[in-house]
Every structure is written in C-alpha cells, then in structure tokens.
Amino acid sequence: MVTRRWVCLSLGGALACLSDPAVAPTARCADVASAAASVTLAPLAPATATRWLLVYAGSRKDHIPPYSVSQFERLVTHVDSARQPQYWVFTGAIFLHLYAPSGRVFTTWIGGDPATGADWTEYLDSLFVPGAALSRLDSAVAIASAALGPPAVPFRVSIMVPYPDPSVAGVEFDGQIYDFGNAAGRGDAAAAYIHDVVRRFQAAGYLHLRLDGFYWLLEQAPESDVDVITRVAGDVHGEGLRFLWIPYYTAQRWNAWRDLGFDAAWLQPNYFFDPALPQTRLDSAAARAEQDGMGLEVEFDGRLWGDSMYCDRLQPYLATLANQPQLLAREIAVYDGGNGLLHLSFGRQLTDRALYQALGDVLR
C-alpha cells in the first residue's frame, strides 16, 4: 500500500493538490491527472502585459511544428473542446532557433559547427519569404482578431540575434566579411543583421504584426561579450526597438540585464528540466525576478505527458505565477518545447485539458 502525501497549491484562487515527489512516478502521474482534472481556476483579469511564445520556426533540425496558420491560431489563443477560440493567451512571439536550416548551430552550448553568414540569411528567408512563418502568423492573428477582437496590445514580434561566436574567424553576411577576432567586428555583423531584419519587416507590410525588437540568443553574458552586447543594444535602440533576453538561473550577469542594455529580461527557473530540483527553486526564481525587475519564464516540453518523471512539473510554475500578482502584471515568456502546447490544445485526456485550461487561465 502506497502512502500518499499531498502538497496543495493555490492556483488563481482554486486549490490544486499534487502528490509528494516521494511517491512512485506512475502513481504520481495518476494522482496528478485526477487532481488536475478536478481543478477549475478562478477567472483572472485580462492581462495587458505581453505574453510571449517562443517560436522555433526556421529549421529542419529536430521535431518542430510546421507552424501552419491553423497551428498558430491554436498557439496564440485558447481554444475550447470544439476547437473554437475563446480568448487571447499570447500577444507576442519571439522567433528563435538553436539550429540553422543546415543543422549548424546559432549558439554555443549544444555543440556542433557554428552557423555561417549564409545560415543567418537562410534563417531570415525562412521567416520572411512570402508564405513563410511570419506571414502565416500575420494571417492567424487576423483570423483570431476577427473572432475575438484585436488583442489588448498590438501583436508583437521579436527576432533573435544569432550569437556572433568568437571561436570562428568571422562570417560573410550580405556581401560583407566581418572579423570575429574583436568585439567591433562581432558587433558590426550583428548590426548588419539587425538592419536587414528591419528592412525585411518593413518591406513585408504585415497588417497585424508589429516589430517590437530583438532577442539576444546566448543565455549568459561572459566578460568577453559585454562590449558586444552593449554595442548591439545601441543598434537596436537606434532603430527605436527593444532588446530582450532570457538568461538561465545561474547565468553570468543574469541580474545585470539593465546595465547590458536590455529593455526586458525573464529569468529561467530551469525547474522543469531537472527532476532533482525541489519546488523551492520556483520560489527563489520568483524572488530573484521580483527583486531585479525581471519576468519569469514558464518551461515545459513533450516530457510533460511522455515521461512520468515530468508529468507534475508544469503546475508549480502556474501556482507560482498565480500567487505572484506582481509577476503576472509583467511580461511573461513561455518555452514550449517538443510541440507541448499544441499537444495540450488537442488533448483528449482530462489531465491534458486541465493543464491547458490552467495555463490559459493564468496567462490570460
């Protein structure tokens, strides 16, 4: 006989009870499914701060959704069991990817060959050519706006800046060779990329999207990058746009984001990805974010339903946010890996629907 112990969390005024991590994984998942299915969150006031969805379009590497118009509709709005949109959940999308279409990498921590300037161009083509990801998002926002009315704030888009990796000699981008042996060359390459994005966005003439700014892809700020980041911040601000960042929990200079020139930053709790971490990690991440004026990132991926060790690791994020009105009033970013949110939106299982409803109720 298994002795069950429960941790009860206030979620938007309702009580959700999660079994203690000491319980065997299969029993824990069954308990979480039962508890989640019975939870109805109290409605929250509609958010005016942007809710950002991280969109991993633009690569053939790994399993990512094609981000069709209908999929974007399901991602940016909450749909009922009849697949009809009920309200806006996200009013912003950060377009980023770790892998170039070639399979080379835009950042450093995943290994692999660094991206070339041609990869930078191909990534932008994958977003901006007619019929590509941004135009599909524009269409999805138009359709959702017709059903729900426009979002409270114009739908915002931020585009990643690939990491100008000093481990390579440089890149050739848009006909110009940039030397990565010094901060000036790295900053010049990033500036050229930024100006190309602005040009492309203006030329595309999207009717329902607004370019909000750029996202710095590397999730920490070592000393060797400080001059590059501050230079890039100046170029972004010179375009009248914002500079965004999502450092991980122990990242170098995670709390120096303002000094680096970022306009908004979210802290990664990294709780979902490590079953050994207790829920107190979320408490400390929320306290850090509150103290340093940051937002909080919500994290989950396909292991939420595919691995018993992770099935109960999304609800604590929602509980933390629901009990932190000051964080709910700020912008929130959501990492959705492995088609996680799409899976929940299509879910037929009670636990999937309950999690999907809870996520929507907290973020709306």
CA angle 166, 108, 213 (to 5 degrees): 85
How far lies 356's CA from each of 307, 326, 351, in Å?
18, 23, 8
Task: For residues 311 and 323, give the distance between their C-alpha atoms in angstroms, rounded to a whole number.
Answer: 21
Q: Return the structure tokens found at 314.
A: 């999304």
Give residue-wise pLDDT tens across range 24-39.
334 455 555 554 544 3
DSSP code, position 79:
E
Task: For residues 215 and 97, give the distance between their C-alpha atoms in angstroms, rounded to a whole number.
Answer: 11
In angstroms, the first-to-last Cα distance of the chain is 41
Residue 14 pairs in a beta bridge with 11
Task: For residues 40 and 358, give the distance between their C-alpha atoms in angstroms, rounded to a whole number.
Answer: 8
Q: Do 252 and 221 touch, CB atoms closer than 8 A? A: yes
Give residue-wise pLDDT tens across range 67-108.
999 999 999 999 998 889 999 999 999 999 999 989 999 999
Task: For residues 172 and 191, give the distance between their C-alpha atoms in angstroms, rounded to a whole number.
Answer: 13
Q: Return the structure tokens found at 66.
A: 């094609």
Q: Return the structure tokens found at 196.
A: 């190309």
Is residue 34 classed as helix, strand or coil in its secondary structure? helix
pTM: 0.89
Domains of the chain: residue spans and CATH: 49-363 (3.20.20.80)
Q: What are phi and psi of 86, to 5 degrees?
A: -110, -35
Task: For residues 119 and 173, give the distance between their C-alpha atoms in angstroms, rounded to a whole number.
Answer: 9
Give residue-wise pLDDT tens across range 267-302.
999 999 999 999 999 999 999 999 999 999 999 998
Q: Do 39 and 14 touch, CB atoms closer than 8 A? A: yes
Give residue-wise pLDDT tens across range 173-224.
999 999 999 999 999 999 999 999 999 999 999 999 999 999 999 999 999 9
Q: Which ranges constitute the DSSP H helices of 205-267?
A: 226-238, 257-260
Residue 267 pairs in a beta bridge with 296
